[in-house]
Structure 1
């Protein structure tokens, strides 16, 4: 028995729901598919088609509640013990995707993460930064993910039981500035809940423009700073905050902040170009971190 839970925001999720529905019927499992839209403006009429599928539903919230709260709402609405969370802009790579997760249900005290892939064909220049980051930093093999089992876990494709989820539900009190998956994985680690990595990936299809990704990355830096300042995660859990603490220790923050202000246009030009460098992307985020107000 499996509850497939999909948070939706401004995305056409019909193809994903239909694919999962067919897989579940072929695997002959008891299932439900629940899609909750977080007060979108787009694709609302199109996504209503999901309600025509057996054991599937699509509903819309009257107001936006954010990435953490909507996942908690999905878990509360689910009727089965086994919860499979998938982001709306993903799509299973293999036909036995659901069967692979069903085979892991006995690992009830663990979270099972299947991984992520990006399509091999390079996108346009306008979407290149997100694609390069995803292919190099997120689309990792099981071997690579196991080197840092908690931080390499992403919340877009994972299996968890209701009983485990009740111990580590998403924190709804943090600002909607990304890094909710970082906090979630940190709390898994603090609660000694193992992350089991398997080879059962989804494609990440929702590539955003490089400009949008850079802006969201700035939001994520602020979100990380807030988590560290609130002592919700340790300063050494994420490399970026760890490096920032080192910068502060050696009193280099004013120098790096000043240098970043001067060189930021050059950083942006390179990162939005045809060969974005992840080293420069990391330096950009560190410089941005150093420019944030201290409080």
Structure 2
């Protein structure tokens, strides 16, 4: 089966400067789409949205999203895949469908922290046209349930860093959500399709890009709503071991200096995972 494409009325005539690219799998991006569409008037045609359903195979969700997309003021295209292609391939597919000169990657479980989110990105592109720019993460709107406390604490320490601090080590704080990439940069350094499943494809991409292009940091944060429980988080890291090995093989000198290197080696050792889960549960309690 081939990919199904749905465009709204505003899509055909649009000439955007920024393409917002939203991949999703078994997540409902409708809340994010609604929030972004509230800014349609303020960006005045400078922004389009492309959503990619990477094989969810949920006919009810697809029908709801098609209805929503057709009613949006922003130019929107929804691409629905019959089977999962993976995060790296999916993002490359999104980039191929984009028409803007700058690509804003945004995960479906993100929520802008203010109502100038798209306008600030569009203004930055018009003013500076940066090669790569990262807006930042926050936990401002994230759930505070006890079951998510470990993930919340980890994110607060490693990911939710003020832009003034991120700017001191720009290459260290680059993630593939709330990330703006100029088209020529992405064409020079696309995501490695050899990465499959969850994890590390964004880190590996950042290692390559930061060697060739300047990374700009700004205060335009969005909240990562998709916090995981201890067990879910441990499973993700366990499953990401092949991706980590691929990254380490390509960038051994950088990976060896990462604090996460020892942790990933531990996670790759299956016998150590039950102990890790117990320690994480203890921390959660």
TM normalised by structure 1 equals 0.80
Distance 2:183 2:30 in 1: 26
Name which of 64, 73, 91 aligns with 1:71.
91
Matched, 1:45 2:63: yes
Task: Give the match for residue 138 of structure 1.
Answer: 159
Matched, 1:86 2:102: no
Matched, 1:179 2:197: no
Distance 2:252 2:194 in 1: 11
**Residue 198 (structure 1) shift:** 0.3
Preserved contact between residue 113 and residue 157 of structure 1 (Cα < 8 Å): yes
The answer to which of 221-230 and 67-76 deviates more is 221-230
Distance 2:164 2:201 in 1: 24
Task: Give the match for residue 15 of structure 1.
Answer: 31
Distance 1:162 1:45 in 2: 31
**Residue 117 (structure 1) shift:** 0.6
Task: Give the unaligned 5+ runs of structure 1.
Answer: 245-252, 277-295
**Residue 187 (structure 1) shift:** 0.7
Task: Evaluate the alpha carbon distance shift between residue 125 and residue 76 of structure 1 in structure 2; reply closer, same or farther with a 3 A threshold.
Answer: same
SS at match of 1:170: coil
* Equivalences for residues 96-175 of structure 1 within 5 A: 96-105=116-125, 106-119=127-140, 123-175=144-196
The answer to which of 214-223 and 14-23 deviates more is 214-223
Preserved contact between residue 86 and residue 158 of structure 1 (Cα < 8 Å): yes
Larger Rg: 1
Task: Give the match for residue 293 of structure 1.
Answer: none
Distance 1:265 1:172 in 2: 31
Distance 1:37 1:217 in 2: 23
Distance 1:146 1:32 in 2: 28
**Residue 111 (structure 1) shift:** 0.6
Distance 2:119 2:185 in 1: 21
**Residue 7 (structure 1) shift:** 0.7
Task: Give the unaligned 5+ runs of structure 2.
Answer: 1-16
Distance 1:71 1:132 in 2: 28
* Equivalences for residues 245-264 of structure 1 within 5 A: 261=271
Name which of 82, 91, 98 aligns with 1:62.
82
Distance 1:12 1:121 in 2: 16
**Residue 127 (structure 1) shift:** 2.0
* Equivalences for residues 191-206 of structure 1 within 5 A: 191=212, 193-206=213-226
Distance 1:265 1:159 in 2: 38
Preserved contact between residue 18 and residue 50 of structure 1 (Cα < 8 Å): no
Distance 2:217 2:251 in 1: 28
Preserved contact between residue 197 and residue 240 of structure 2 (Cα < 8 Å): no
Q: Render the CA deviation track for 1:97-156: whole Å, top value 9, x for unaligned.
A: 112112211433421110001137762232222111111211110122123211211111
SS at match of 1:119: coil
Work out the number of aligned pairs and report it.
263
SS at match of 1:88: coil
SS at match of 1:3: strand
**Residue 234 (structure 1) shift:** 4.0
**Residue 268 (structure 1) shift:** 1.9
